Amino acid sequence: GAGVSQSPRYKVAKRGQDVALRCDPISGHVSLFWYQQALGQGPEFLTYFQNEAQLDKSGLPSDRFFAERPEGSVSTLKIQRTQQEDSAVYLCASSLATGTGVYNEQFFGPGTRLTVL
């Protein structure tokens, strides 16, 4: 596709519900990132995939958060038993390659705004 796409754009969940957020990266991009952006803050790193391998999940705030990218393309971020503090915008980004250099430039999707009531 032309850019990174995410769905749904908005999600309202009742506390305790499970949610799944989808990311379609730019076609051919090896690297995929998930970030969380709280209101009035900059995005913060959650997890990183290189193809289908999850190489870094150091930013996931709890074991209720789980991400996968089984075929090295589309990724899903799942949050179990949602809590009010999970309310945020979840951003997905992709880049063409790894290592250093211009192919590392990250491109972001429009985000999913999650509201937990």
Q: Shortest CA distance to 1 belongs to which of 28, 34, 22? A: 28
- Interaction of residue 100 with other proteins, rule CB under 8 A: yes
Q: Which residues contact 76 (CB under 8 A, 6 or more apart)?
A: 20, 21, 22, 23, 67, 68, 69
Q: Shortest CA distance to 32 belongs to which of 42, 22, 41? A: 22
- Interaction of residue 33 with other proteins, rule CB under 8 A: yes
Query: Residue 16 or 103: which CB sits closer to other proteins?
Result: 103
Query: Residue 7 or 80: which CB sits closer to other proteins?
Result: 7
- Give the residues lining the site for other proteins (CB under 8 A): 31, 33, 35, 42-45, 48, 50, 55-56, 58-59, 89, 91, 93, 95, 98-100, 102, 104-108, 110-111, 113
